[in-house]
Amino acid sequence: MHAQVKSNGRNGRCTCQKSAEEALRESEKRFRQLQDRLIQAEKLASLGTLVSGMAHEINNPIQGIMGMAELVLDERDPVAIREYTRDIIEYSRHIAAVVRDFACYARSNSHEDEVDVDLCERLAEAVKMVRRCPHFGKVEVVTQFQPVPRLRARRVEIDQVFVNLLSNAVQAMDGRGRLELATFSKGGTMTVRISDTGCGIQKALIHRIFDPFFTTKDPGKGTGLGLSIVCQIVNKYCGTIGIESEEGKGSTFTVQFHAEKRREEAHDGVAGPCYGRREAGACAGGR
């Protein structure tokens, strides 16, 4: 490279700078593609848990639909037939809605453009998904949503952040406890807080929870990528994520996005990753 600069003088330096910029752009592009693929792979892995919830959400109405259809076959009273048919239609619609929700969640993030995302709405949708988990049990959900500004982001990635954090919280409570969800905004910072009364995290492990492939779950029950991906997505949108936890009492995850920083980023057309601030017991972030 130096040789080229020397031989071509000023023009050579320009060419060299240009090619370095191109290489950097290419490398950024490849990084983003890899990041997208990783995010998608983790999402599909986490779908495994949600799918067993889907079995319940679909097999139940199918049981009703099949039962009603068999009753229609034997029924002569037109009023009863109409009633059973209405039930069949209603519950078929329910199945269609469940499949649509799951399909939306599973679809590839790389094909979606950034839109103005309503964080409260996405958090409420994530709760709907996680309620279908088989281990949701008797968990009580308490919400305190204050309006927050919209965040320019890919909706599916924000969904992935919330579904991951909520799934972890629900699993930590093992079917019993209180899940508190709050959103608020102050001075351009949008905050989403997810608290559970679950088993909490050991002090010695808390600094590792955002590390890739780190998991406290039994073998085969978790990829160890969930929180690492959450962290990557949050960082990508100039956000930060922090955790407070006490073993045996529960954990609180706090996700913050900074509206102004994000707007500047979007306006500048910087498409690369934005490294979020690290916090105590927080996301290790970055690449």
Partner 1 sequence: MEWQDPVMAGGRLGRVLVVDDVEIVRKSIRTTLANAGYEVVEAENDEQAIRVMREMTDMLPVDAILSDLRMPHINGTELIAYFRRQYPMIPVVVLTGYPDVELAVSLMRQGVMDFLVKPVLQNELLTVVKRAVEQKGMRKQQVIS
Binding region for partner 1 (CB under 8 A): 52, 55-68, 70-71, 74, 87, 90-91, 131, 134, 136-138, 175
Q: Where are the alpha helices (DSSP H) in the chain?
A: 2-74, 78-106, 119-131, 155-173, 226-236, 259-268
Q: How far apart are CA 153 and CA 287, in angstroms?
A: 19
Q: For the CB of residue 247, give the shortest distance to partner 1 in the complex, in Å.
A: 24
Q: Which is nearer to partner 1, 167 or 232 (CB)?
A: 167
Q: Which is nearer to partner 1, 13 or 176 (CB)?
A: 176
Q: Which is nearer to partner 1, 127 or 243 (CB)?
A: 127
Q: How many residues does the chain have?
A: 287
Q: For the CB of residue 164, give the shortest distance to partner 1 in the complex, in Å.
A: 22
Q: For the CB of residue 170, give the shortest distance to partner 1 in the complex, in Å.
A: 12
Q: Which is nearer to partner 1, 107 or 128 (CB)?
A: 128
Q: Which tokens hold the place of 92?
A: 């078929």
Q: Which is nearer to partner 1, 21 or 140 (CB)?
A: 140
Q: For the CB of residue 52, give the shortest distance to partner 1 in the complex, in Å.
A: 6
Q: For the CB of residue 138, give the shortest distance to partner 1 in the complex, in Å.
A: 5
Contact 105, 156 (CB under 8 A): yes
Q: How far apart are CA 82 and CA 73, in angstroms?
A: 12
Phi, psi of 111 (to 5 degrees): -95, 0
Unique residue bearing structure tokens 């049981």: 63
